Structure 1
Amino acid sequence: MEEKPVSEPSEQGSSPPPAKRQRRRLLLAAKRQARRPGPLEEGEKRYVPPPQKRNPGVSFGEAHFAETSYYFEGGLRKVRPYYFDFQNYCKGRWVGKSLQHVFSTEFRAQPLECYQAAARAGRLRLNEQPVRDLSVILKNNDFLKNTVHRHEPPVTAQTIEFLEENDEVVVVNKPSSLPVHPCGRFRHNTVIFILGKEHNLKELHTIHRLDRLTSGVLMFAKSVEVSKRIDEQVRQRQLEKEYVCRVLGEFPENEVTCEEPILVVSYKVGVCRVDPKGKVCKTVFRRLNYNGNTSVVKCYPYTGRTHQIRVHLQFLGHPIVNDPIYNTDAWGPAKGKGGKLSKTDEELLRALVEGHLSKQSLDVLDVAEEDLKPLVGDNVQETPGNCVKPGQAALANVNSGSTEASNDEGQSEILGCSQDFAQMHKAESGKMCPSEHLEEKDPLCEECKIVRPDPSPKDLVMYLHALRYKGADFEYCSRMPAWAQDDWEET
């Protein structure tokens, strides 16, 4: 019998190649998994969806802005507590370990019972499926989601003043105490969110950052092209920056240049110091006036290291008057003058945190709550009616928040609260997230059980202000703050 030649398959009517068939089977399996109700069971074979491509840029829309609202009280801008999803892909070191192991070893600020209660309430999800049993073993690309009741610290009620708005940039005079963008415990009480919610300014690109307690000129680009153009000027050292501050003591009348290298002691706590192993930097200082107790000084940073002006002034023996980090006794009798420090870095961090715990001012220090126990252990006493207990919001830390001092590297994209959980909570309690301050409580929220004393607006102001930013084709300047005036007297 004559053998028939094998013809080439045509595009139409031919079966897909093996690779395509495999992808199709995986896709169908993923759809079946997504449709299947009920929690994951221990030992069950799980399909793990491939990781989604995530937008690396910061972009917030109406859904994010609608999570909660502001209210004003005692000179402070406050955020009503709201439900929020922290989410993160499984880290490499978690693969092959149980959720219980991860919570008990890496998120120890809360007892394991808190996480077990969150799982029973349906607030923990793995690949969008509720996780009731924390013994489930994590796999590569597993996607974790943790729904929490989130409380944000208050900031000053001072309005954001617009210095310039055109087709390319938005330039504002940032009040002290406001972070530039979401970080740590702050989300809605940030410049980015306030501009979006109250002024309909969205898709802004950060050109430079200011510390949370630093006020002054802050620039945003309205497009990627403008952002890259100005960023290139920053890289080429073409951007001139001028700050003003009020420092302790009589600052020298002659111009002072400080070129001491600066080392980051802790990104999480946000502390730096002068050290030969640090990064090279340079700041020039010129005194404007002296009132017999404090001096007003202009500062010209030629580099942009974390806390550069504050650290150099501390080294010179003239720290900023109300600097909550670099003008404290935690640094010793000389308060770090001349770089003298008789403590180890760990002892310094512990002293700083303990000092702010005693004054109920951890929000001013910007220390992340999950970092407290390694520094102070369990030896913190609780004062009735106040919060001094470390780690009250650690249940929120499926994705550990960083402080602004870390330049926010590795921040994950954060989306709005889970509609499934919101509906579930409504069905269970008949109430949604608090609409009037703190009158309604969440049964699993440790923050809801605490009465936190409000800081005074004065406590949230540090006497450091970005006065002027000048580039190749722009110059923006704010007015001198009240505390820098010649006739200013502290009340």
Structure 2
Amino acid sequence: MRFLRHFKSLYIRLRCVNIVNRQHLKDTKYCKEATISHSWLSKMLNTKCVRNAQTQHGDAGVDVENIFLYRSMLATITGSSTLLTDAPGHPASPQCVWFHDFRGPEPTDEGDSQGPGQTLEEPDKKEEVQVPEKRKTDTPEDGSKAKRVKLDGNESKTKRPGFSDERYDETSYYFENGLRKVYPYNFTFTTYAKGRWVDEKILDVFSREFRAAPPEVYERSLEAGKLTVNNEKVPKDYKIKHNDLLANVVHRHEVPVTSQPITIVYMDKDIVVVNKPASIPVHPCGRYRHNTVVFILAKEHNLKNLRTIHRLDRLTSGLLLFGRTSDKARELEQQIRNRQVQKEYVCRVEGRFPDGIIECCEPIDVVSYKIGVCKVSPKGKDCKTTFQRIGEVGDCSIVHCKPLTGRMHQIRVHLQYLGYPISNDPLYNHEVFGPLKGRGGDIGGISDEQLINNLIGIHNAENWLGIQDENGPARAAPPKEVQETVRNEPTNTVSTQTCLDEPDSSYDPKKNTSDPHCSECKINYRDPEEKDLVMYLHAWKYRGINWEYKTELPDWACETNINYDQL
């Protein structure tokens, strides 16, 4: 009997070691179902095997494959200290102790319930295996646990990357000719050196990788100390090293947007709902930073650290939801992702739209994410939109739209395919898509690459900005006489919200900045016209689980007698 017990112990020990070090753990599902029916068997394991399974360094026999597999197992745990789940039909069993005293993943923005430093303990604490320490850890001597950072909108100390008070105070606004404009300001672009840049001259890298400016501009920036490495001035023949922090200070000019106010539709401690005017991007992108919805709300209404739940195109107006807490943002995002939110839009299209409810189920494919253009294609993703004509204005129709999916430019692309594009759509109502303007998916027989090149040539974002002026800065002469824009101030429902940065009613030359090396300071900008700022597409109404919000309709949708209450 003694021999049998010894043989049984040896057999079980070898079996457990095999589970740790061989291919059985490759399948995560198998790993979850693997259980040990008696916790005392864990004592039979060799401590070196335990240590090898929980560390990446130190021992030559480390099973790296099992280390990364175990980390993937931990990623599946949500708010539970149970490492292995019971297989269907098997009784509950204690946890595997091979990875005892693992200190868990790094803190995340989600605020996991299990903090760092918390061990994955077995229910029967008397059966714990004591693993010898191999090296010093970063745990404080007093045994205190590191605090997790919670990205909560109500936490005044939490600052989201790129959205700090320092960024908000870079510049300010002024109104001119019915436009919201931004005083030029200095902005620092930073990046860490990429592997392919190492041992190359900094001037060669910037000339090749960042073509927004010619090489002589970067050379002047190096000489002036505006282009630095690790916050230090370097010569133009400096060779980039690993982990170098590159910083380039530029004089930034932003594109004007409409001066129409961002009206707050609803606000409480968890959510902010606004009516976004056309021409204002939702968040910083391209040439827009302060002239975005998130910056305007932060600077003028103290609504900071908002979580973007969904987006609208820059030229699209209407309903926009932001979360003030991460929990609320995730909740609404999940509803949208699960198609539990009903969206209703209103648009004006060319021609007389057919009677009845028209359904379009053509798949949409993204031709280019860089310039933001899509088309109907069999290779695209499935989507569905229903349309109904609700009124007429001259030769155009007012159409009620219900996108049942949420693809990029879905309404615009489906209307183009049906042959009734939005009347002033600068992208999908253009001959660049062929003589039929993309009707029925016909783009003139050109390739996607040729379509992209044609669009870049025609819809260059810089076309309306102005022409080069060799005589000096555009603001050398006194500003034009301007009309003061009358703004309807939204009524805030939370007393803590105050307007911090009131825009100037007109241009103040004292606040203007210039840079002798800035090429944009030498350009005379002409103001964009109304056709450059508005597209006849409006997000009118969103309805989710136990909530519904809608906005006022724009003027172009109210030029005919339409009973919107019946919709």
Q: TM-score, normalised by structure 1?
A: 0.71
Match of 2:165 among 62, 66, 72: 62
Counterpart for residue 277 of structure 2 = 175
Question: AA paired with 1:482?
Answer: D
Quick one: structure 1 residues 98 and 244, their matched pair in 2 at CA, closer, same or farther if it must change by over 3 Å?
Answer: same
* Higher RCO structure, 1 or 2 (CA under 8 Å, sep 6+): 1
Match of 1:462 among 527, 535, 540: 535
Quick one: structure 1 residues 56 and 272, their matched pair in 2 at CA, closer, same or farther if it must change by over 3 Å?
Answer: farther
Counterpart contact for 1:274–1:315, Cα < 8 Å = yes
What is the RMSD of the two structures over their aligned residues, measured on CA atoms?
2.5
Counterpart for residue 425 of structure 2 = 323
Counterpart contact for 1:179–1:190, Cα < 8 Å = yes
Residues 416-450 of structure 1 show CA distances to partners (whole Å, capped at 9, x for unaligned) of xxxxxxxxxxxxxxxxxx96289653111111011
Shift of 1:154: 0.1
Shift of 1:459: 2.4
2:248 and 2:468 map into 1 onto residues whose CA distance is 30
Give matches, 1:345-364, under 5 Å: 345-357=448-460, 360-361=463-464
2:268 and 2:192 map into 1 onto residues whose CA distance is 39
2:337 and 2:160 map into 1 onto residues whose CA distance is 20
1:359 and 1:443 map into 2 onto residues whose CA distance is 21
Counterpart for residue 325 of structure 2 = 223
Give matches, 1:15-164, under 5 Å: 57=160, 60-133=163-236, 135-164=237-266
Residues 37-76 of structure 1 show CA distances to partners (whole Å, capped at 9, x for unaligned) of xxxxxxxxxxxxxxxxxx9955623211111010100010
Counterpart contact for 1:316–1:337, Cα < 8 Å = yes
Q: Does 1:257 align with 2:330?
A: no
Counterpart contact for 2:365–2:374, Cα < 8 Å = yes
Counterpart contact for 1:122–1:132, Cα < 8 Å = no
Counterpart contact for 1:281–1:302, Cα < 8 Å = yes
Q: Does 1:451 align with 2:524?
A: yes
Counterpart contact for 1:385–1:452, Cα < 8 Å = no
Question: AA paired with 1:97?
Answer: E
Give matches, 1:205-224, under 5 Å: 205-224=307-326
213-222 or 289-298, which moves further after superposition?
289-298
Counterpart contact for 1:248–1:319, Cα < 8 Å = yes
Quick one: structure 1 residues 328 and 73, their matched pair in 2 at CA, closer, same or farther if it must change by over 3 Å?
Answer: same
1:287 and 1:57 map into 2 onto residues whose CA distance is 44
Quick one: structure 1 residues 437 and 385, their matched pair in 2 at CA, closer, same or farther if it must change by over 3 Å?
Answer: farther
Shift of 1:485: 1.9
213-222 or 268-277, which moves further after superposition?
268-277
User: Equivalent residue of 1:202, what SS?
Assistant: coil
Quick one: structure 1 residues 437 and 297, their matched pair in 2 at CA, closer, same or farther if it must change by over 3 Å?
Answer: farther
Gaps of 5+ in 2: 1-133, 138-157, 471-506, 562-567
Q: What fraction of aligned residue pairs are identical, expressed as a percent?
A: 52
Residues 53-105 of structure 1 show CA distances to partners (whole Å, capped at 9, x for unaligned) of xx995562321111101010001000000001111122233234332232232
Counterpart contact for 1:149–1:442, Cα < 8 Å = yes
Quick one: structure 1 residues 77 and 383, their matched pair in 2 at CA, closer, same or farther if it must change by over 3 Å?
Answer: closer
Match of 1:482 among 555, 560, 566: 555
1:225 and 1:323 map into 2 onto residues whose CA distance is 36
Aligned length: 371
Counterpart for residue 247 of structure 1 = 349
Quick one: structure 1 residues 169 and 98, their matched pair in 2 at CA, closer, same or farther if it must change by over 3 Å?
Answer: same
Counterpart contact for 1:289–1:486, Cα < 8 Å = no
Q: Does 1:274 align with 2:376?
A: yes
2:332 and 2:539 map into 1 onto residues whose CA distance is 17
Counterpart contact for 1:80–1:435, Cα < 8 Å = no
Question: AA paired with 1:352?
Answer: L
Shift of 1:146: 0.7
Q: Does 1:192 align with 2:294?
A: yes
Quick one: structure 1 residues 314 and 143, their matched pair in 2 at CA, closer, same or farther if it must change by over 3 Å?
Answer: same
Give matches, 1:303-314, under 5 Å: 303-314=405-416
Shift of 1:359: 9.0
Quick one: structure 1 residues 229 and 320, their matched pair in 2 at CA, closer, same or farther if it must change by over 3 Å?
Answer: same
Gaps of 5+ in 1: 1-16, 21-54, 364-381, 387-433
Quick one: structure 1 residues 58 and 242, their matched pair in 2 at CA, closer, same or farther if it must change by over 3 Å?
Answer: farther
1:484 and 1:89 map into 2 onto residues whose CA distance is 49
Question: AA paired with 1:479?
Answer: E
Larger-Rg structure: 2
1:437 and 1:150 map into 2 onto residues whose CA distance is 17
Q: TM-score, normalised by structure 2?
A: 0.62
